[in-house]
Structure 1
Amino acid sequence: MKCPYCNHPDTKVVDSRPTEDGNSIRRRRACEICKKRFTTYEKVETIPLIIIKKDNNREQYDRGKIENGVLRACYKRPISAEAIKAAVDRIETQVFSLEEKEIPSNRIGEMVMEELKRLDEVAYVRFASVYREFKDVNTFMDELKKILG
């Protein structure tokens, strides 16, 4: 790493630790020539994940969309914020473990439904009613029978 003060090409790492969010490494460095110290952050470079929508449009993956859907489904349900965050984390881990550059949105929707089914049945039905676009009461009842049966 080049020193930002004297441009010497060689510096040494004095201290290294993960950042609070755990997504990068904070390194304290010292220049061997001018002796000044500075901080660098190291982060894994990732290729952006692309989501293929129902209408075949493509957009970049956004964790916030999964969080919003799960939060909306869990509205006024006895589910802690930690449980919701853990569920979203599990969904995101599952999405990235596919190791694909493009993923259809319906695949993510199914992952969300499976997670909500384990988390809270009412939240599951709420999400399913929007996600599956129930046209009438019969399709809604069929989904309820899947849960009960």
Structure 2
Amino acid sequence: MATGSVTSRGQITIPKGVRDDLGLEPGSRVSFVKKEVTVTARRWERGWELWLDDDHVTQFSTLADAEQQVRDYLDTEVPDVDHSEWVITVVPELGALGREVVAARKATEEAAAASLDAARRSREVARQLREAGYSVTDAAAIMGVSRGRVSQLVHG
């Protein structure tokens, strides 16, 4: 992968190898395509309006399928670009309830991370206890888990 740099004036230096591969010469026009879209979803009586910006809106009945609807809309608007790998973020307008949703999602993500960390630590401690010569039964009593769980942790 080649990288370029942006000057303080906003000009981009494209590495020579990339220019050669693409056949770019001085004066060539280059297009830049953003592959991430954030969509604002606004509820209305028949479902959701999906606002890409002030001029581009599509509608759909359920929020569950909004990402695909946005891809389909983009494919219609710009058919020569493949939108299948684009990152589509749908942000529903929920008012004050939106802050509660954000807090709940954050708590869920933190809990999942803590669970992964706890599992990693439990595996490590179980291995260390067994390597230190403690029996499966004693390791289970020390860790507060079943003998079978100690075996799973050591071999898993």
TM-score range, shorter chain: under 0.3
The two structures have a TM-score, normalised by structure 2, of 0.21
> Which of the two has higher C-alpha Rg?
2
The two structures have a TM-score, normalised by structure 1, of 0.22
